[in-house]
Amino acid sequence: MRKMIGKKGLALMMCAAMAAGMLTGCGGSKDSGTTAAPAAGGDTSAAADSGKKEKEVVEFWYHAADEKSNAIYEELFAKLNESQDDYEYHYTGFANKDFPDKFAMAIATDTMPDVVSLGFSNVMTYVAQDALLPVNDYFEKWEEKDQIVPQVVDSLKPLAGGEQYGYPYNYNQEICWYNKKLFDEKGATVPATQKEFLAECEKFADPDNGQHFYSLRGNKPYDNLLGWIFTYTDGAGYGGSYFDDNNQCIINKPEFAEALDAYASIYKNHWVSGDCVNNNFNEMVAEFGAGTAMFIMHNSSSENNHASNLGAENVGASKPLANDQGKYYASALQPQLYAITTRKGPDADYTGAAKLCEYLASADVVNEISQKLGRIPVNTKCYEEDWFKNSEFMLLYQDIMSDSNFVQIQNPYWLTSYFNFINNDMTTDFQALLLGEKTSQEVLDKWAEFLTEEQAAYLAEQKS
C-alpha cells in the first residue's frame, strides 16, 4: 500500500520550512475566476519566412483565474517571451468552475495544452486518465529545487507510487474570515470554538431583515463540512484518518452523525439565508461581501475577494473553529502544482514545458504572484521578503502550522474517485440533508460504504 500523508508528516513539512526561513507555503483561488484570451504570440510563420528559427509553441492553462490573476499571468508570460528565443509561451485562464469540464474535453479530444495548473486533490484523477507526465527527472535538474519545501515535494510522491506529477508553488490554509466593521458595530466576538460559533449564529440571526452571522456553503461544502465533523468528534479517536486499522471508513460512527446534525442545524434553524442550500463559492463570498453575513469559513486564497468587497481594513481572519479540547481539524492544506501533460506522447522532448514550470515556480515569480494575490508560497526564498514577514495573514498561517492543536485531515486523494465524490455526491447528499430528505446517519452511511469499497479496490490494486 502506498504510504498516505499523515499529520506528523505534514507538521514536519511546514515546520521544516519555518526552520529554513519561516513557514507557510495557497491556491489559485479555489473557486473564482474568468476566462482570458491567450497571450499574443509571435508570428512563427513569418519567422520561418525570414530565415529565423521557428519557435516551439507551449500552451498553458491556469485552472482558477479571475481578472486580477489573468493580468498578472499575462504580464509574466510577456516577460518570459521577451527573455528567450526558443519558445513561444501562450497563456489561457479559466474560472475554477469551468476548468474541469474544459480539461476533461481536452483529454477526450487529444487537444490538451502542454502545461496546466492543478489543485492537489484532482491530480490522481488525471493521472488515472494518463493525462499527466511524471516530472521527476526534470525537477531533479532544476536549480531551485532545493528551495522548495522538501516535505511538500515528498508529500506528492506517495500519492502516485513514487512519481511526481508537478512543480508545487503554493498551498491553501483553511481559516475563518470575518467582517471587522460589522463585528464592531454589532458587538460580536470572533468565535474560537464551535460552541461559541453556534451561539453567535443564533444570537445574530435576523432573517426578517436578511441579516445573518454566517454564510453556509451548500454546494461543494466539503472543506467546511469535513473540518466541522472531524473537529466536533476530535477524529473519533482516529486523528484525521478516514479509516480504521482494518481500512473500514469510520465517518458513519454515531458521533459523526451528531456532528453533522449540529452543522445542518444552522440551516434548519434559519440561522443562515434560505439561499445557502445552493450557495457555491461565489454566492457565499457575495453574501459576506454584501454584509448580509458577518463570518464565513474558507481558505487563504479568497483574501483578495474579501479585500475588494469590504476594503482590506475591514477583513479579519482567525484560526479554524476548535472543539472543547482545543483541537481543530482542516482539510485544505494541499499544494498546488504546475503539471506537464502527455499531449506530445511518452517519448517526446518536454524541455519547453519543463522550463515554463521552472519559471512559474521560481522564487521571483512565485514571490510576485503570492504577494499580489495573497497566496502562500512553498519556495522558501519568499519567506525572506518583507511583505511575507510583515503580513498578518502569513503570520496567522505560520501560527496554525506550528500549533500542536492543529490536525491535518488525511483526505484519501489516492482514490481516483475521491475528487468526483466530494464535488458531486457530497453536494447532493448534503443538500438533501438540509432539505430534510435524508438524515445525517443515512448520508454518512452512504459515504462510508462508498469509501470503504474504494479503499479496498485501491489496496487490491496495489497488491496485484
- For residue 360, give Cα distances in angstroms to 86, 117, 167, 181, 352: 17, 10, 9, 37, 13
CA dihedral angle for residue 107, residue 65, residue 167, residue 304, rounded to 10 degrees:
-160
Do 174-332+415-463 and 7-172+333-408 have the same topology in CATH? yes
Q: What is the DSSP letter of 435?
A: T
- The alpha carbons of the chain give a radius of gyration, in whole angstroms, of 22
Q: What is the pLDDT of residue 114?
A: 98
Each domain of the chain, given as residue ranges in start order, spans: 7-172+333-408, 174-332+415-463
pLDDT of residue 42: 41
Residue of 108 and 123 predicted with greater confidence: 108
Find the mean pLDDT for residues 291-299: 96
Per CATH, the homologous superfamily of domain 174-332+415-463 is: Periplasmic binding protein-like II (3.40.190.10)
**Strands 174-179 and 293-299, sheet pairing:** antiparallel
Task: State mean pLDDT over 215-237.
Answer: 97
pLDDT digits (tens, 9 = 90+) for 115-154: 999 988 788 889 989 999 999 999 999 999 999 987 678 7
Using DSSP's 3-state secondary structure scheme, residue 331 falls into: coil
Determine the 3-state secondary structure of 459 from DSSP: helix
Tell me the CATH number of domain 7-172+333-408, given options 3.30.360.10, 1.10.10.10, 3.65.10.10, 3.40.190.10: 3.40.190.10
pLDDT at site 34 = 43
Lowest model confidence (mean pLDDT) among 16-25, 327-336, 372-381, 404-413: 16-25
Burial class (CB in 10 A: 0-12, 13-18, 19+), 235: buried
**pLDDT (tens digit, 9 = 90+) per residue, 152-210?**
787 787 677 788 999 999 988 899 999 999 999 999 999 999 999 999 999 999 999 99
Q: What is d(CA 342, CA 132) in angstroms, rounded to the nearest whole number? A: 5
CA neighbor of 164 nearest in space, from 103, 214, 118: 118
As a whole number, the mean pLDDT across the chain is 88
Which pTM value belongs to this model?
0.78
What SS3 class is residue 315? strand
